[in-house]
Homo-oligomer: A and B are copies of this chain.
Amino acid sequence: MTDLERLLAIEDIKALKAQYFRGVDTKDAVALRAVFADGAETDFRSESPTGDPAFHQHDPDAFVRNTLYMLEGTATVHAGFMPEIEFLSDTEALARWPMNDRIWVEDTSLGRLPFITLTGWGCYHDRYVRGPAGWRIVSTRLQRTRLIVG
């Protein structure tokens, strides 16, 4: 991997993660699904003290469907801060990505979330692989620093 190839890969991965955040916040299932490789691991056990298996899957179609179902009737902001990206090879990278999220339940009649507002901080631990169509997330795990619900 040349220096230029590494910089291009970093930029691609940053744009991919930005698309992930946009996909969640605009509730765009196609944009959100497209950032994941088939079979990608989504580990959000930090969000579920009761160990609901939906929070840890290897099924990005189900992840997208569940996530957008839970977020129906909400306004959300997911913000990524400054990542640290490390390349394991020309086609594999790890990233630590600090984040902040806000959720406002606007339609409380749906009753899908156990809060009205959420403010959270944490760090994504991601693995990316480059395939024929470019870089994709093959594994993402959210570690929480703090979660304030109201």
Q: Please report the C-alpha to C-alpha distance between residue A76 and residue B122 in the assembled complex, in whole angstroms.
A: 10
Q: Please report the C-alpha to C-alpha distance between residue A77 and residue B100 in the assembled complex, in whole angstroms.
A: 10
Contact in complex: A84, B22 (CB < 8 Å): yes
Please name all residues of chain B whose beta carbon is closer than 8 Å to the beta carbon of A25 when the two chains form the complex.
98, 145
Q: Please report the C-alpha to C-alpha distance between residue A102 and residue B102 in the assembled complex, in whole angstroms.
A: 15
A1 CB, nearest partner CB in chain B, Å: 13
Contact in complex: A79, B100 (CB < 8 Å): yes
| Segment among A9-17, A36-44, A46-54 that sits at the interface with chain B | A9-17
Interface string of A100-132 (1 = CB under 8 A from B): 101010000000000000000100000000000
A8 within 8 A of B: yes
Please name all residues of chain B whose beta carbon is closer than 8 Å to the beta carbon of A79 when the two chains form the complex.
81-82, 98, 100
Q: Please report the C-alpha to C-alpha distance between residue A18 and residue B21 in the assembled complex, in whole angstroms.
A: 19
Contact in complex: B98, A77 (CB < 8 Å): yes
Please name all residues of chain B whose beta carbon is closer than 8 Å to the beta carbon of A146 when the two chains form the complex.
75, 77, 102, 104
Q: Which residues of A contact B (CB under 8 A)?
A: 3-4, 7-8, 10-11, 14-15, 17-19, 21-22, 25, 75-77, 79-85, 96, 98, 100, 102, 104, 121, 145-146
